[in-house]
């Protein structure tokens, strides 16, 4: 006797197929299910439904289970072993399926460039992403925008120029992770999330630096061609790890010191706030870049040569450009000087020399952490762009 | 073996489907290609004049192809069909709360149908009314004329006319009874089935006179739903399995075509106002 399902008054225009599917799930293809019910159009509905689902309808309300469903899932595989396991290689065929989901074959393959764990991963990514979420802040309220305006005019000129420079660097820092994440297989979800959070951080940095520049002025400072060439060379790096290394390890690493410098010499609360907030985010960006690059080098020590090659290549592209434009450098001196006396300017000059030294030390430290011997780390750090980023 | 198939472009997906099938056949050494027609009449004429070897035909196109062929002393053959082309039914529905309870009650009332050339939503259900001796006012919805009802628009408009009171009854294919319930065009419980056709067959793959399609059809019938490359195409085309062609399921439509004069016995177009 075949099993029987009683639909009572429910029709297939009202959800009865769920009950039938549920009953059919226990059967093998070729086995029958008797259907009972008193919906007036049940027979015509059932025949049409069976046809569309690949079941055989026999008059007098019998469904013979078809094999379509079994065939559809016959070659299905999970996108990785489990939700918590990150696969060494993510298949394009997994597409946008959630990690660990059972993937029906036959969908469109995902067109992404980076689908190997060791090419994109760092074990610290999930933690950094959690930290990024915990440390979100609101540009409207986290900065003291309404403090008293006591900044002298020529110091304000320097602040506006530095902010103008920071904005163009932030724009590059936004575009790079945005480009990287669009080419990444979403199986490496935590990395994608982290890059998205990083892009969102940079979007906020753009906002606060622009807002600080325009706090007391209507006009921004200048944008030098050399500085933009330096940033363009970052955008031009097509490789994931090399782009991450140049941007986050060397560039944003140097920026950490720059932001601290501006914060220390800030002539007002707003300037101190914006550089402090951006610096906190940047520390996270640097941490991921360093952890990721170190991860790659651990799995392939020969990669050190490629990292070095990328810095040398960038150096040779930029060797004939001005690097940091003069207006930015001078503004940093004036900011640290605080006034235009020769003593003060001399002091400011020494402060900026010290800043460059500190940046160099920081870069060497990170390069050594990644795996470079000390002498090589010093050589590579010296080749870093004069534009800081 | 080189074969050219004609199909009617009733939807953009037709390109995806037949391009996919073409790749599948060519990968297996069959020199197969397809051309698209904007309507079935031109496709049938092309099949008969030998421009194409095979036609993916609507049931109405099959009937015309057979009449045209026989008039010339030739034969066309229905060589394959989808599993979903067998034993369809059309229904005549009324609003659930109406006072109409038998087909007889439709005498003098307004019945909404699909397009003039829709077998499922016009010709076959109207034959049911005619057989019952019921004369009703017919409100046709001529959307996608020349596509032989493949375009769902006419049927959807007929259902809407019923819902909004523009008609007392509407003619639909059984599958659209469920589809329109899902779409909310005819919500669950809003209609009652007053009458239905006997089971009939729908599309078939028609081989032109003298065309040897045996090897091609063998391969077609061998397509498996479990093939991950094919399944998306089969899903788009709305089948799980290809079956051999059969022609018994076209008797009711053939009779309706004769009774209405839609096509003449020689295959000429007889329907007035039919402009594909
Ligand atoms: Fe930033
Ligand atoms: Fe950053």
Together in a domain, B214 and B80: yes
Residue numbers in A near B224 (CB within 8 A): 71
Residue numbers in A near B171 (CB within 8 A): none
CA distance B89 to B125: 9
For the segment A62-79, what is each residue's pLDDT rounded down to a tens digit? 999 999 999 999 999 999
What are the distances in angstroms from CA B232 to CA B7, B202, B226, B236? Answer: 19, 22, 10, 6
Domain assignment present for B267 = no
Together in a domain, B243 and B230: yes
Together in a domain, A86 and A67: no
b/e string for B16-46 if b means 16 or more Cβ within 10 A?
ebbebbbebbeeeebebbbeebebbbebbeb
Domain assignment present for A388 = no
Structure tokens at A257: 């010191």
Task: Provide the residue count of chain A.
Answer: 389
Domain assignment present for B219 = yes
Domain assignment present for B113 = yes
Q: Could you say which DSSP state residue A58 is in?
A: E
Cα–Cα nearest to B84, from A249, A212, A141, A55: A55
pLDDT of residue B1: 67
Residues B246, B249, B252, B255, Cα dihedral to 10°: 0
Count how many Cα atoms sit within 13 Å of the Cα of residue A184 in the half-sphere of its side chain. 26
Together in a domain, A8 and A98: no
Structure tokens at A22: 């549920």
Distance from the Cα of A45 to chain B's closest Cα (Å) equals 7
CA distance A346 to A354: 12
Cross-chain residue pair A51–B175, CB shorter than 8 Å: yes
CA distance B139 to B142: 10
Together in a domain, A16 and A149: no
Segment A332-354 shows an average pLDDT of: 96
Residue numbers in B near A15 (CB within 8 A): 188
Q: Which of B151, B172, B196 corresponds to the end of one domain?
A: B196
CA distance B164 to B166: 6
Does residue B125 contact residue B92 with C-beta atoms inside 8 Å?
yes
Domain assignment present for A342 = yes
Number of domains making up chain B:
2
For the segment B196-248, what is each residue's pLDDT rounded down to a tens digit? 999 999 999 999 999 999 999 999 999 999 999 999 999 999 999 999 999 99
Q: Could you say which DSSP state residue A27 is in?
A: S
Q: Which of A84, A111, A138 corresponds to the end of one domain?
A: A111
Together in a domain, A136 and A13: no
Structure confidence at residue A317 as a pLDDT band (50, 70, 90): confident
Tell me the percentage of chain A whose pLDDT exceeds 90: 89
Together in a domain, B100 and B228: no
B98 touching A, CB under 8 A? no
**Cβ-defined contacts of A16-24 (< 8 Å, 24+):** A16/A42, A16/A45, A17/A49, A20/A49, A20/A63, A24/A55, A24/A63, A24/A65
Tell me the percentage of chain A whose pLDDT exceeds 70: 100
B231 touching A, CB under 8 A? yes
Structure tokens at B195: 């009458």
Domain assignment present for B31 = yes
Domain assignment present for B252 = yes
pLDDT of residue A377: 96
A29 touching B, CB under 8 A? no
Distance from the Cα of A105 to chain B's closest Cα (Å) equals 6
CATH number at residue A175: 1.10.620.20
Together in a domain, A177 and A200: yes
Q: Tell me the angle at which helices A225-235 and A153-182 cross, rounded to the nearest 10 degrees.
A: 20
Q: Which of B196, B213, B233 corresponds to the end of one domain?
A: B196
For A250-286, give the DSSP string. Answer: IIIHHHHHHHHHHHHT-SSHHHHHHHHHHHHHHHHHH
Domain assignment present for A232 = yes
Residues B115, B121, B127, B131, Cα dihedral to 10°: -140
Together in a domain, B251 and B164: no
Together in a domain, A63 and A169: no
Segment A306-321 shows an average pLDDT of: 90
Structure tokens at B158: 């007929």
For the segment A161-191, what is each residue's pLDDT rounded down to a tens digit? 999 999 999 999 999 999 999 999 999 999 9
For the segment B1-60, what is each residue's pLDDT rounded down to a tens digit? 699 999 999 999 999 999 999 999 999 999 999 999 999 999 999 999 999 999 999 999
Q: Could you say which DSSP state residue A289 is in?
A: H
Residue numbers in B near A66 (CB within 8 A): 240
Pairing of strands B2-8, A77-78: unpaired
Together in a domain, B76 and B206: yes
Q: Which of A39, A56, A71 corresponds to the end of one domain?
A: A71
Cross-chain residue pair A45–B225, CB shorter than 8 Å: no
SS3 of residue A11 by DSSP: coil
Pairing of strands B191-196, B90-95: antiparallel
Domain assignment present for A387 = no
Q: Please name the member of A12, A68, A75 whose beta carbon is closest to the beta carbon of B178.
A: A12
Domain assignment present for A303 = yes
Together in a domain, B65 and B11: yes
- Helix (H) / strand (E) containing B41: helix B40-48
Cross-chain residue pair A12–B241, CB shorter than 8 Å: no
Does residue A193 contact residue A262 with C-beta atoms inside 8 Å?
no
Distance from the Cα of A128 to chain B's closest Cα (Å) equals 39
Segment B133-155 shows an average pLDDT of: 95
Structure confidence at residue A149 as a pLDDT band (50, 70, 90): confident
Segment B130-149 shows an average pLDDT of: 96
Q: Please name the member of B91, B189, B238 whose beta carbon is closest to the beta carbon of A44.
A: B91
**Cβ-defined contacts of A100-105 (< 8 Å, 24+):** A102/A73, A102/A76, A102/A77, A102/A78, A103/A76, A103/A77, A103/A78, A103/A79, A104/A72, A104/A73, A104/A76, A105/A75, A105/A76, A105/A77, A105/B228, A105/B231
Segment A123-142 shows an average pLDDT of: 94
Together in a domain, B190 and B133: yes
What are the distances in angstroms from CA A337 to CA A265, A349, A357? Answer: 9, 8, 18
CA distance B43 to A372: 72
Together in a domain, B192 and B205: no
Residues with CB under 5 A from ligand 1 (ion): A 170, 173, 202, 205
Residues A365, A369, A370, A374, Cα dihedral to 10°: 60
- Helix (H) / strand (E) containing B171: strand B169-173
Together in a domain, A123 and A15: no
* pTM as predicted: 0.81
Does residue A169 contact residue A278 with C-beta atoms inside 8 Å?
no
CA distance A208 to A266: 15
The ligand that comes nearest to the alpha carbon of residue A198 is 2
Domain assignment present for B268 = no
Number of domains making up chain A:
3
Together in a domain, B113 and B158: yes
Q: Which of A85, A111, A137 corresponds to the end of one domain?
A: A111
Q: Please name the member of B182, B196, B226 whose beta carbon is closest to the beta carbon of A44.
A: B196
Together in a domain, A317 and A196: yes
Cross-chain residue pair B225–A68, CB shorter than 8 Å: yes
How high does pLDDT run on average in chain A?
94
Segment A216-240 shows an average pLDDT of: 92
Whether A375 shows a pLDDT value over 80: the answer reads: yes
Together in a domain, B118 and B242: no
Phi/psi at A6 (nearest 5 deg)? Answer: -105, 115
Cross-chain residue pair B174–A75, CB shorter than 8 Å: no
Structure tokens at A171: 């724009």
Count how many Cα atoms sit within 13 Å of the Cα of residue B115 in the half-sphere of its side chain. 19
Together in a domain, A239 and A360: yes
CATH number at residue A24: 3.30.110.40
Domain that holds residue B70: 2-85+201-260
Whether A322 shows a pLDDT value over 80: the answer reads: no
Together in a domain, A330 and A184: yes
What are the distances in angstroms from CA A345 to CA A164, A222, A332, A336, A349? Answer: 22, 22, 10, 8, 6
- The residue of chain A with its CA nearest to that of B180 is A13
- Helix (H) / strand (E) containing A44: helix A42-53
**What interface predicted TM-score (ipTM) does this complex get?**
0.92
Segment A221-234 shows an average pLDDT of: 91
Phi/psi at B211 (nearest 5 deg)? Answer: -80, 130
Domain assignment present for A186 = yes
The ligand that comes nearest to the alpha carbon of residue A208 is 1
Domain assignment present for B170 = yes
Together in a domain, B172 and B225: no
CA distance A372 to A249: 13
A78-107 residues touching B, CB cutoff 8 A: 105-107
Phi/psi at B31 (nearest 5 deg)? Answer: -80, 85
Distance from the Cα of B233 to chain A's closest Cα (Å) equals 10
What are the distances in angstroms from CA A143 to CA A120, A174, A270, A285, B269? Answer: 34, 21, 6, 21, 80
CA distance A110 to A188: 14
Structure tokens at B265: 């016995």
Together in a domain, A235 and A88: no
B275 sits in the region (left: phi over 0; alpha: psi -120 to 50; else beta) called beta
Does residue A202 contact residue A180 with C-beta atoms inside 8 Å?
no
Structure confidence at residue A311 as a pLDDT band (50, 70, 90): very high
Structure tokens at A270: 């707003």
Does residue A384 contact residue A250 with C-beta atoms inside 8 Å?
yes
Segment A4-13 shows an average pLDDT of: 96
CA distance B129 to B256: 11
Taking residue B233's Cβ as centre, other Cβ atoms within 10 Å add up to 21
First to last CA, chain A: 77
Domain that holds residue A343: 117-382
CATH number at residue B140: 3.40.190.10
Domain assignment present for A282 = yes
Segment A18-36 shows an average pLDDT of: 97
Together in a domain, A60 and A124: no
Cα–Cα nearest to A246, from A183, A202, A312: A312
Best B191, B231, B240 member to test A by mutation, with max A CBs in 10 Å, is B240
Domain assignment present for A162 = yes
CA distance B128 to B191: 19
CA distance B46 to B24: 25
Together in a domain, B119 and B174: yes
């Amino acid at each position: 006797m075949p099993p029987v399902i009683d639909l009572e008054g429910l029709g297939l225009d009202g959800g009865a197929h769920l009950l039938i599917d549920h009953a059919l799930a226990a059967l093998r293809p070729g086995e029958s299910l008797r259907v009972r019910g008193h919906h007036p159009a049940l027979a015509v509905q059932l025949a049409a439904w069976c046809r569309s689902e690949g079941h055989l309808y026999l008059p007098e309300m019998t469904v013979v289970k078809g094999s379509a469903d079994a065939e559809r899932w016959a070659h299905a595989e999970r996108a990785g072993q489990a939700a918590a396991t990150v696969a060494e290689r993510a298949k394009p065929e997994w597409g946008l399926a959630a990690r660990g989901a059972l993937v029906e074959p036959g969908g469109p393959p995902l067109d992404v460039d980076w689908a190997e764990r060791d090419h994109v991963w760092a074990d610290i990514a999930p933690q950094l992403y959690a930290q990024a979420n915990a440390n979100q802040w609101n540009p409207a309220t986290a900065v003291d925008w309404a403090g008293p305006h006591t900044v002298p005019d020529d110091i304000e000129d320097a602040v506006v120029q530095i902010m103008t420079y920071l904005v163009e660097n932030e724009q590059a820092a936004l575009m790079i992770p945005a480009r990287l994440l669009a080419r990444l297989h979403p199986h490496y979800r935590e990395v994608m999330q982290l890059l998205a959070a990083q892009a969102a951080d940079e979007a906020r940095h753009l906002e606060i630096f622009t807002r600080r520049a325009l706090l007391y002025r209507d006009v921004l400072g200048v944008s030098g061609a050399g500085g933009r060439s330096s940033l363009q060379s970052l955008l031009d790096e097509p490789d994931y790890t090399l782009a991450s290394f140049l941007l986050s390890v060397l560039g944003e690493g140097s920026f950490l010191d720059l932001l601290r410098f501006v914060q220390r010499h800030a002539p007002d609360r707003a300037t101190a706030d914006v550089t402090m907030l951006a610096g906190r985010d940047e520390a996270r960006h640097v941490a991921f870049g360093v952890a990721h690059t170190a991860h790659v080098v651990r799995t392939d020590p020969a990669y050190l040569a490629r990292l070095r090659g990328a810095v040398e290549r960038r150096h040779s592209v930029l060797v004939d450009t001005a690097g940091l434009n003069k207006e930015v450098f001078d503004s940093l001196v004036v900011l640290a000087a605080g006034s235009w006396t020769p003593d003060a300017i001399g002091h400011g000059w020494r402060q900026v020399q010290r800043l460059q030294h500190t940046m160099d030390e920081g870069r060497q430290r990170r390069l050594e952490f990644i795996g470079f011997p000390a002498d090589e780390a010093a050589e590579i750090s010296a080749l870093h762009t004069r534009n800081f980023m | 073996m080189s074969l050219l198939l004609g199909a009617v472009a009733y939807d953009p997906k037709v390109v995806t489907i037949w391009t996919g099938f073409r790749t599948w056949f060519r990968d297996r050494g069959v020199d197969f290609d397809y051309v698209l027609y904007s309507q079935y009449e031109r496709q049938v004429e092309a099949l008969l004049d030998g421009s194409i070897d095979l036609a993916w035909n609507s049931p109405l196109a099959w009937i015309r192809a057979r009449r045209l062929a026989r008039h010339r002393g030739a034969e066309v053959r229905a060589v394959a069909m989808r599993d979903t082309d067998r034993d369809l039914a059309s229904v005549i529905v009324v609003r659930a709360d109406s006072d109409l309870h038998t087909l007889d009650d439709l005498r003098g009332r307004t019945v909404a149908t699909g397009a003039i050339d829709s077998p499922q939503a016009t010709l076959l259900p109207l034959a049911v009314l005619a057989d019952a001796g019921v004369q009703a006012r017919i409100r046709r919805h001529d959307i996608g004329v020349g596509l032989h009802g493949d375009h769902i628009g006419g049927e959807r408009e007929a259902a809407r006319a019923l819902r909004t009171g523009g008609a007392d009854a509407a003619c639909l294919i059984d599958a659209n009874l469920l589809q329109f319930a899902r779409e909310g065009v005819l919500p669950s419980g809003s209609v009652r089935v007053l009458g239905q056709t006997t089971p009939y067959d729908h599309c078939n793959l028609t081989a032109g006179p003298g065309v040897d399609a045996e090897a091609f059809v063998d391969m077609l019938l061998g397509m498996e739903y479990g093939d991950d490359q094919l399944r998306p195409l089969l899903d788009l085309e709305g089948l799980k399995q290809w079956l051999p062609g059969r022609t018994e399921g076209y008797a009711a439509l053939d009779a309706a075509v004769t009774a209405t004069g839609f096509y003449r016995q020689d295959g000429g177009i007889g329907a007035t106002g039919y402009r594909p």
